[in-house]
């Protein structure tokens, strides 16, 4: 018996990093998984293979989830192929998220907000419509960040988006009251997202090579499985009374002042 037996979970940006960790962790607990990413390559297929090797159904849904028509298409495809949707995890992000204030032009702003706010919002809205229609509740989780809690130089646009997701979870939890659909965020700290071909986790960051992390209370770097375990809690019955919340999974970074 797994914590997610019979559940159908769609994970965005699941080709590598935290998204792959979530896909494999939810599959290990019995969920069938849809792997979305903007890149469909050997790594994307590897994530799907890691899910199917656990005996779960795995489907690949290549799409740019900053674009609502593409979001609608993959959610419709996922529902048709899996017979419904119980879990959506909004996880996708592009690289180069750090951008000094005066280099933050309109094109960068739109790119950030189109993916991290607009895309996450409409994916959640579309998945929630299906969940309400199905009448068996559901779980929506978005990846926020420590950047929603405090400012570091050069991260303002990213931080605005990640803070917006905290408010989105609160608002959607209220909007969906009584439906059995919960909406939450996980806010990771410094997680090593390096691609690792066959395993769930790469080695944690070597803290001696990251002076900014030297005071981290939990004296090791974070791993995709640290985040995936928190997502598992929220998406299973264990987390059924958590709603409209954002949970920091940061090894104590924010508690200790988070110098970076
Ligand atoms: N890694 C960290 O330290 C950290 C810290 C705080 C928050 N987060 C958040 O966790 C989530 C996962 O981060 P990660 O470090 O594992 O990322 P990652 O870069 O390892 O993986 C992100 C994936 O998203 C895909 N992607 C990019 N744009 C896309 C789009 N438009 N549509 C579909 N897929 C797209 C990429 O191809 C990539 O495979 C993100 O939301 C990130 O902001 C990460």
All structural domains of the chain: 8-249 (3.40.50.720)
Res. 259 pLDDT band, cuts 50 70 90: low
Q: Whose CA is nearest to atom 31 of ligand 1?
A: 64
Q: Is the distance from the beta carbon of residue 38 to the nearest atom of ligand 1 less than 6 Å?
A: yes
Q: Is the pLDDT of residue 15 over 90?
A: yes
Residue among 120, 149, 158, 205 flagged as catalytic:
158
Provide the pLDDT for residue 30: 98
Contacts of 253 (CB under 8 A, 6+ apart): 146, 189, 190, 213, 216, 217
Q: Which of 65, 14, 5 is nearest to 35 (CA)?
A: 14
Atom of ligand 1 nearest to the CA of 224: 16
Cα(92) to centroid(ligand 1), Å: 4
What's the confidence (pLDDT) of residue 101?
98
Pocket lining: 201 vs ligand 1, CB cutoff 6 Å = no
Distance 13 CA to ligand 1 centre (A): 6
Interval between CA 117 and ligand 1 midpoint (Å): 14
Q: DSSP assignment of 138-183, as one string?
A: EEEEEE--GGGTS--TT-HHHHHHHHHHHHHHHHHHHHTTTTTEEE
Q: How far is the CA of 191 from the centre of ligand 1 (A)?
A: 11
**How do residues 177-216 score in pLDDT, each as one tens digit?**
999 999 999 999 999 998 877 777 888 888 888 877 888 9
pTM listed for this prediction? 0.98
Ligand 1 proximity of 40 Cβ (cutoff 6 Å): no
Q: Which residues pair with 249 in a beta bridge?
A: 188
Q: In the annotation, is 205 catalytic? A: no
- Give the C-alpha separation, 122 to 203, whole Å: 34
**Over the range 164-181, which residues count as b (16 or more CB within 10 Å of their CB) and which as e?**
bbbebbbebbeebeeeeb
* pLDDT, tens digit, 9 for 90 and up, residues 115-173: 999 999 999 999 999 999 999 999 999 999 999 999 999 999 999 999 999 999 999 99
pLDDT of residue 260: 58
Per-residue pLDDT of 64-120, as tens digits, reads 999 999 999 999 999 999 999 999 999 999 999 999 999 999 999 999 999 999 999
Go through the chain and tell me how many residues it has. Answer: 260
> Ligand 1: which of 11, 13, 20, 227 to mutate, judged by most atoms within 8 Å of the beta carbon?
13
């Amino acid at each position: 018996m797994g914590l997610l037996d019979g559940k159908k979970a769609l994970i965005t940006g699941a080709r590598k990093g935290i998204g792959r960790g979530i896909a494999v962790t939810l599959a290990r607990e019995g969920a069938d998984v849809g792997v979305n990413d903007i890149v469909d390559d050997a790594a994307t297929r590897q994530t799907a293979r890691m899910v199917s090797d656990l005996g779960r159904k795995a489907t690949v849904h290549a799409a740019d989830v900053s674009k609502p028509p593409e979001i609608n298409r993959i959610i419709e495809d996922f529902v048709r192929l899996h017979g419904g949707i119980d879990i959506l995890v909004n996880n996708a992000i592009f690289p180069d998220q750090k951008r000094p204030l005066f280099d933050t032009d309109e094109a960068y702003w739109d790119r950030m907000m189109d993916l991290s706010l607009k895309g996450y919002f409409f994916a959640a809205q579309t998945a929630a419509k299906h969940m309400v229609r199905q009448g068996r509740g559901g779980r929506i989780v978005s990846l926020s960040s420590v950047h929603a809690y405090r400012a570091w130089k050069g991260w303002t646009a990213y931080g605005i988006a990640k803070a917006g997701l905290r408010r989105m979870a609160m608002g959607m939890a209220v909007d969906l009251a009584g439906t059995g659909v919960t909406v939450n965020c996980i806010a990771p700290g410094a997680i090593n997202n390096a691609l690792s071909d066959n395993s769930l986790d790469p080695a944690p960051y070597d803290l001696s090579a990251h002076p900014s992390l030297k005071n981290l209370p939990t004296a090791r770097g974070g791993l995709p499985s640290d985040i995936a375990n928190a997502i598992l809690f929220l998406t299973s019955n264990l987390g059924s009374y958590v709603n409209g919340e954002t949970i920091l999974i940061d090894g104590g970074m924010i508690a200790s002042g988070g110098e970076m």
